[in-house]
Structure 1
Amino acid sequence: MKTLKMLVLVVAIAFSSVLAASTNPIEEAQPSTLTEAVGDLLKNPDFQLTKDVNAVVDLIINENDEMVVISVSTDNKAVERYIKNRLNYKKLSKDAIGLNRSFKVPIKMVETN
């Protein structure tokens, strides 16, 4: 009886360690480029556009790996405020930044129906 209990215990430990080792934790996908990171941050605006808007965002990366918007060149003031509010001081992953510290990112916001 003692050996049977010991055998069951060994099998249970072996089985649980195999199950624990075979799980794949779900990792949140990090954007791999700066344009992907900016695109993710600018999703789902809280306003409607009546026509397509193009903008060029001039930004730098500070020592804390955060984006700092220098300027947004567009005629639409609502889009300019939206871009500045969404991008300023948002932290980026090391993969998205690369070696450069200054960027010009073209943005096209399309009309929503």
Structure 2
Amino acid sequence: MGSPDGYVVNMYARCGKIGCSHEVFDEIVDHNVVSWISMITGCVEGLMREALVESNQYTLGSLMTACGKLGDLHQGKWVHGYAIKRGIDFNSCLVMALVDVYVKCAVIKDAGSVFDELSCIDLV
């Protein structure tokens, strides 16, 4: 798990308060992967919102891949819920990124459920 400061960075970024997020980030003495990913993700999402660009399967798949590498179940579930709420189509790349997060976090039941919802099984 990451530091509490990393999660504060993420919370501000998700609320569109990139300036506040950056201030907290700057105060972190020992930056870790969570704080960096939180800051990067928040800035990218903020820029995408300003440019009126919506997230899609590929941007969310990239976020899920980062969550998987971190073993961050909380963030992975948030991205999963965001995708559902936004009505994002779950292509095989996004589904496999979700499965990867759930497997790496030992939530095998959720990994199986996500996999079973995939409409077309392919090489990915």
TM-score (norm 2): 0.21
Instruction: Name which structure has the greater RCO, CA cutoff 8 Å, separation 6+.
Output: 1
Structure with the higher fraction of residues in helix conformation: 2
Structure with the higher fraction of residues in strand conformation: 1
TM-score (norm 1): 0.22
